[in-house]
Amino acid sequence: MFHSLEQIRDAFVEFLLESSEGGYFEAKEYSCIDTGDAIEIRRLIRQLWNCRDIMQSEICECLKLRQGSTYAKGARRLQRIRKAGMWPE
């Protein structure tokens, strides 16, 4: 069970790194590596929609966002990627 924003952010990061390499960004659910807990991707996006915390540079790069972007921007980008059905070039 995901209880804190930190856990939500960590799951978002794990999902992005794994799906950008494996190409399964359209998955409906993600199981956390450490705990095995599952969370719906749309819930991840919703939970981070207004998060002003800054993403790590590798995550910004993965999403083709400028360094220093927030998790809110990342969540919005992930939603657009999922709707478009492909990762940004």
87 or 40, which is more confident:
40
Q: What range defines the domain where residue 11 resides?
A: 5-84
**In a domain? residue 57:** yes
Q: What global pTM score does this model have?
A: 0.81
Residue 11, amino acid? A
Domain count, the chain: 1
**In a domain? residue 89:** no
**In a domain? residue 77:** yes
Q: CA distances (Å), 51 to each of 26, 27, 34, in order?
A: 22, 22, 23
Mean pLDDT of the chain: 81
Residues 30, 15 contacting (CB under 8 angstroms): yes
How far apart (Å, rounded) are the C-alpha atoms in residues 38 and 71?
A: 20
Residues 88, 64 contacting (CB under 8 angstroms): yes
64-88 residue pLDDT tens: 999 999 999 999 999 988 888 766 5
Closest CA to 39 of 78, 2, 76, 4: 2
